[in-house]
Amino acid sequence: MTDTADGQSEAGDAGTDPATAPSERVASLLDELTLGEKRVLIKGGIDPEGIATGYVPPIERLGIPGCSLVDGPMGIRAVTSTAFPATVSLAASWDPDLARRFGETIASEARAADQDVLLAPGVNIARVPQCGRNFEYYSEDPTLASELAVPMIEGVQSAGVMACVKHYAANNQETDRHTTSAEIPERALRELYLPAFEAAVTEAEVASVMAAYNRINGTHATEHPRLLTEILREEWGFDGFTVSDWWATTDGPAAVEAGLDLDMPGMPVYEWHEPDVKLLDVLDALPDGAWFPKRRIAELVTAPWQPENPNPHVLEESHFGSELTAAIEAGRITEADLDRMIGRILGQYERFGLLDASGTGGTAASDRGAGDEDPRPAGVIDADEHRDLAIEIAERGTVLLENDGVLPLDGDDLDSVALIGPHADEAKVGGGGSSEVDAVGTVAPPRGLRECLGGDVDVTVERGVDRIEMDSFTESPFPDLPSIGGAGPSMADAERAAREADVAVVMVQDAATEGADRAFDLPDEQDDLIERVAAAAERTIVVLKTSGAVAMPWREDVDAILEAWYPGQADGGAVANVLCGNVDPTGRLPVTFGAAAEDYPADTEERYPGRDLEVDYSEGVFVGYRHFDDADVEPLFPFGHGESYAAFEYGDCNVSLADGASDASGPTATVSVSVENASERDGWEVVQCYLAPPGDAVDRPPRALVGFETVPLEAGKSRTVELEIDRRSFAYYDEDAADWVIEDGEHTFHVGRSSRDLRGSATVSLGE
Ligand code: BGC
């Protein structure tokens, strides 16, 4: 049996009609709008409140309100808000329910700040560990990314906020992100880089999609007809609006023709009212042609704000400005084009109640210019439940990579703990870039540890080495912090503290940021610090706060390693709760931790960071564990890995095909396995299911994640987990057929604790 994976739906099937007519209400607004007003609704303007990251001005005459778009993935930017853990930390929980609650909660904060669109989630695939934004993304695996992005979006939108999934598509590195072309074979695009976007559209009905900076097979994402119209709308049936990443559009008319609806932020950076570019407002007040060209000043001022790979377009006026005027005059772009774009934008306004909103919170009703009632739920910033959720995600995402028994720490057995690291005295709130959040309040590690261990345990703090330099889009790199001691940090002090304590906890971190990629090694002298502390201390625990894998040359010398990612404002309390066993470390790696950068598939200059502005994705579908398994490279810690303080045993694994599985609508399968908590501690297990395909027709990864369930299990309890496997999971993308194809032959399901710790299997034969 060889069959298309979508059953009746043939390749090229248009799904929802792309020319979907606007509702009556939107159609009548379109009738009333003047050409000038239409031009206002398709590009960003100035937010009168100075809060929004992007703002679509109102048309008060017609009761169309302004629309505020705000970053971002980990907390509401530009106001003081709850700083949640990094997206990769949420991903490490492998818990769709947690993702849904996170979505609802962050949307509540967005509503409280009177924002309408949340510029999140980022669902790009972690193709290379060096990507500076991997902390903002979920995973190297499209199934895990989709399973978490869908409930997150549903959560956001259920709270009355439009989600904007980003960055569509293949924005997998920060090096030269504005100019490089991701040269991707179709199969890899379909199997790895598009599924999370597809799920956001077809399952979560996301309101908005952000077109990325980069080019894909030669064409800018903002001007890509295939991505923005053929795939997004004609195949997937997207009826929301597309928006450019900030200053990503390079050709206005081409973008309109391709299917871009909204250009952001709609003005050069020095007109863009954001607290972090106030200096530019001052510059803007200078008369043109003054003693120094304004544009040059702007370049100089924006340089540090754009770490390594400056956006060449930030000083340009909107490409939906005079370029479109000329194109309209020349007849290349018509008013019908504008109506189509605005119909999509206003369609989402209508769906989310903006057209009925009078404006609540910070935005004056007159700015909104709309009706009387706001049907959307009111929000709140910094509720107790939000703080609790920030703690819960940080705890649930923390991955215990290795433990020789030193953990959990027990305050009753200890007299002293040395807490060491260049940032051991502060929370790691997030990475650099547009996702930065001004946290409502942070818990630093010393406080968290002291509270968990109790007053009888002496916790000494030493930095050991200088603080790690951070790039920040929004604030000075070094916020004021109380100094720990008199002189600067010294290795000798760290070693002494380690020697004198019962146990040393070393906290180290990377400095990942949007706008630049990072090295695979920990920055500065942190490896050295760990080695020296490990040599001095009786027992050493390393807590990594990184955006992903780093080299761990000291692995054999330490007793436990924890990956806490960027835990957000709750850092100190959450990490201490895991260290002390108040909660089980439930996190599992959403990315493979390789031993060296060379072990990853993008190991040539052509593949990463690219040559002549082309990045060659010739590794195809062999990314992450798909590569490590296929090439038989031993990872340091495999995808899906994470220890628990409890111990789990797996029973037999069974698989059954649904009725009709051999006809065009099948197969779907149910994989079941029983899991027992065979320890005396309560814990959580993440039951993972990988499918090994026949792989006769094309070269396929040995195994791919097709399902998982995250289950709390009390000590001694067992439970049968049933995983529903959909048709697509069996299939590969056939480039010739331009469709998903399911091969005949044996499909084997493996269940287990990670991609490399498989505890049972069951096989189905198709077509025989
Ligand atoms: C980022 C987006 C972000 C936008 C607005 C861009 O630099 O790539 O993720 O939403 O800025 O801040």
State the average pLDDT for the chain: 91
For the chain, percent of residues with pLDDT exceeding 90: 82
pLDDT at 480: 44
Spacing, Cα 652 to ligand 1 middle (Å) = 47
What average pLDDT does range 352-359 have in this prediction?
Answer: 82
**In whole angstroms, what is the distance from residue 587 CA to residue 544 CA?**
13
Which of 350, 307, 202, 322 is closest to 263 using CA atoms? 322
Catalogue the active-site residues.
245
Spacing, Cα 495 to ligand 1 middle (Å) = 42
pLDDT at 16: 40
What is the distance, to the nearest Å, from the Cα of residue 173 to the centroid of all Cα atoms in its chain? 13
Q: Which of 434, 436, 471, 474 to mutate to test the pocket of ligand 1 (most atoms within 8 A of CB)?
A: 434
pTM for the complete prediction?
0.94
Which of 473, 406, 405 is closest to 433 using CA atoms? 473
For the cut 70, the answer to whether the pLDDT of residue 465 exceeds it is: yes
Which of 590, 623, 552, 565 is closest to 173 using CA atoms? 623
For the cut 60, the answer to whether the pLDDT of residue 276 exceeds it is: no
What average pLDDT does range 28-42 have in this prediction?
Answer: 98
Please, are residues 766 and 749 in contact by the beta-carbon 8 Å criterion?
Answer: no
Q: Which of 53, 69, 87, 119 to mutate to test the pocket of ligand 1 (most atoms within 8 A of CB)?
A: 119
For the cut 70, the answer to whether the pLDDT of residue 513 exceeds it is: yes
Q: pLDDT of 595-618, one tens digit each?
A: 999 999 998 999 999 999 999 999
Rg (CA), the chain: 26
**Omega before 167 within 30 of 0, i.e. cis:** yes
**In whole angstroms, what is the distance from residue 384 CA to residue 396 CA?**
18
101 contacts: CB under 8 Å, gap ≥ 6: 155, 389
**Omega before 142 within 30 of 0, i.e. cis:** no
**In whole angstroms, what is the distance from residue 94 CA to residue 708 CA?**
8
Please, are residues 533 and 498 in contact by the beta-carbon 8 Å criterion?
Answer: yes
Size (the chain), residues: 768
For the cut 60, the answer to whether the pLDDT of residue 711 exceeds it is: yes
Using the atom order of ligand 1, give the atom closest to the CA of residue 166: 9
Spacing, Cα 70 to ligand 1 middle (Å) = 9
Q: What is the 3-state secondary structure (H, E, C) of 385-401?
A: HHHHHHHHHHHHHCEEE
What average pLDDT does range 186-201 have in this prediction?
Answer: 98
Spacing, Cα 51 to ligand 1 middle (Å) = 15
Q: Which residue has the tokens 């008369």?
A: 287
CA angle 304-306-310, nearest 5°? Answer: 120
Residue 761, strand partner residues: 750
Spacing, Cα 245 to ligand 1 middle (Å) = 6
**Atom 4 in ligand 1: residue holding the nearest Cα:** 246
Token pair belonging to 691: 């499918």
Q: pLDDT of 297-330, one tens digit each?
A: 666 666 656 667 778 888 888 999 999 999 999 9
Residues with CB under 6 A from ligand 1: 53, 71-72, 119, 166-167, 245-246, 434
For the chain, percent of residues with pLDDT exceeding 70: 88
pLDDT at 11: 33
Please, are residues 746 and 693 in contact by the beta-carbon 8 Å criterion?
Answer: no
What average pLDDT does range 529-546 have in this prediction?
Answer: 98
Spacing, Cα 40 to ligand 1 middle (Å) = 21
Gap between the terminal Cα atoms of the chain: 8
**Atom 11 in ligand 1: residue holding the nearest Cα:** 246
For the cut 50, the answer to whether the pLDDT of residue 362 exceeds it is: no
- Greatest distance between any 2 Cα atoms in the chain: 81
pLDDT at 664: 53
What average pLDDT does range 244-263 have in this prediction?
Answer: 98
What is the distance, to the nearest Å, from the Cα of residue 190 to the centroid of all Cα atoms in its chain? 19
Please, are residues 678 and 653 in contact by the beta-carbon 8 Å criterion?
Answer: no
**In whole angstroms, what is the distance from residue 684 CA to residue 681 CA?**
10
Using the atom order of ligand 1, give the atom closest to the CA of residue 171: 8
What average pLDDT does range 157-163 have in this prediction?
Answer: 98
Q: pLDDT of 9-21, one tens digit each?
A: 333 333 345 457 8
Question: If DSSP codes are grouped into helix, strand and coil, which group holds residue 336?
Answer: helix
Beta strands in 42-102 (DSSP E): 54-56, 67-70, 80-81
CA angle 317-331-63, nearest 5°? Answer: 60
Q: Which of 71, 124, 172 to mutate to test the pocket of ligand 1 (most atoms within 8 A of CB)?
A: 71
pLDDT at 281: 60
pLDDT at 225: 98
**Atom 12 in ligand 1: residue holding the nearest Cα:** 434
What is the distance, to the nearest Å, from the Cα of residue 492 to the centroid of all Cα atoms in its chain? 39
Which of 742, 730, 722, 746 is closest to 670 using CA atoms? 722
**Atom 2 in ligand 1: residue holding the nearest Cα:** 245
Helices (H), 374-481: 384-397, 445-453
Q: pLDDT of 471-504, one tens digit each?
A: 776 654 334 444 455 568 999 999 999 999 999 9
Using the atom order of ligand 1, give the atom closest to the CA of residue 212: 8
